Amino acid sequence: MALTVLKNDTVSLTVDSCGAEMISLKNAEGREYLWNGDPLYWKRHAPVLFPLVGSLKNKQYRIGEKTYPMGQHGFARDVEFALVSATDTECWFQLTESMASLTVYPYEFILEVGYRLGDGSVETIWKVNNPASRPLHFSLGGHPAFVCPRTPGERQSDYRLRFDAEGPLVSGVIGEGGLLSDAVKKIQLTEGTLPIDSHLFDDDALILEGGQAHKVSLVAPDGEDYVTVSFDAPLFGVWSCPGREAPFVCIEPWYGRCDAADFDGEWSERAWSNTLGPGETFEGGFTVEIK
């Protein structure tokens, strides 16, 4: 574990080499925007989800006749990345296959995670390269948690979410075993916003597929959009601890999701799976703006 700190005139970022995870994001005045990782609610800050987003049916997947185990959200968030380069405002980390990873994920891969500071913003950049001679199948996502409420004495229910969409939005519903059920729920918006009431996450994360929005903000009681996450990913999730009014909300751009409860296919057939041919590279990511 080693920390890398980036800083410009408007924002500072701290990244942990374990998981290449953002653990602190502050403005020029020192105000923190990322969740502190208190295990009373949730021990993480902004993990990188690879090569799996969400949960697998029976916590395993199949390639041909062989079955492999894998826990929720994959393994990258719990392993040490190599720091490849760092300047005052940009850094890059790399993870490749290991003896341990090959026992649960039998693929060669190169995963690069980059962070680049802008004016009041940080861009997360993901690159996945397939160095092997056969196709590489994977999912990839972000899970950043933002302080909400941000001021003592306020409640999470004083806040709203703002989407770059008129709505209604259609969310999948997580069922038993962390799998997507066949139920859906329609989310009505008022001028593009949704109150964060105490029951919003009763069914776990909101799962929004098919490019329903590409910009999501947290709106303070005074009407200010104090955190905005922008992305091109085809799916995203919004989550906080169900029933606890935990002091954070996650806005999660995804290239992949959990299995559906009725899924019975191979790893390559999973919904929203990504495939790279030999020598090909995938690029994705998201940008966080703070005020």
What is the per-residue pLDDT across 185-222, written as a single tens digit (0 to 9) for each?
Answer: 999 999 999 999 989 999 999 999 999 999 999 999 99
- What DSSP character marks residue 32? B
- Is it the case that residue 39 has pLDDT exceeding 90? yes
pLDDT of 244: 79
pLDDT of 192: 96
242 compared with 281, residue with greater pLDDT: 281
Backbone angles phi, psi at 77, to 5 degrees: -65, -15
pLDDT of 162: 98
pTM: 0.96
- In DSSP notation, 165-199 reads S-S-EEEEEE-GGG-EEEEEEEE--BTTEEE--TT
Q: Which of 14, 131, 146, 21 is nearest to 76 (CA)?
A: 21
Any long-range contacts for 171-174 (C-beta under 8 Å, 24+ apart)?
Answer: 171/206, 171/207, 171/208, 172/207, 172/208, 172/209, 172/257, 173/203, 173/207, 174/203, 174/204, 174/205, 174/207, 174/258
User: Which residues are CB-neighbours of 270 under 8 A, at least 6 positions away?
Assistant: 61, 137, 139, 256, 259, 263
- Is it the case that residue 56 has pLDDT exceeding 90? yes
pLDDT of 51: 98
264 compared with 198, residue with greater pLDDT: 264
Q: Are 218 and 227 in contact (CB under 8 A)?
A: yes
- Is it the case that residue 243 has pLDDT exceeding 90? no
| Residue percentage of the chain with pLDDT more than 90 | 97
- Is it the case that residue 171 has pLDDT exceeding 90? yes
pLDDT of 248: 97
pLDDT of 1: 79
Within 13 A of 98's CA, how many CA atoms are on the CB side?
A: 11
Q: Can you tell me whether residue 13 is helix, strand or coil?
A: strand
Q: Which of 112, 105, 106, 52 is nearest to 81 (CA)?
A: 112
pLDDT of 242: 86
pLDDT of 167: 87
pLDDT of 166: 92
Span 50-79, average pLDDT: 97
Strand pairing report for 160-163 and 215-219: antiparallel
Q: What is the CATH number of domain 3-290?
A: 2.70.98.10
Which residues pair with residue 150 across a beta bridge?
none
Q: Are 279 and 134 in contact (CB under 8 A)?
A: no
* Count of C-beta atoms within a 10 Å radius of residue 12: 17
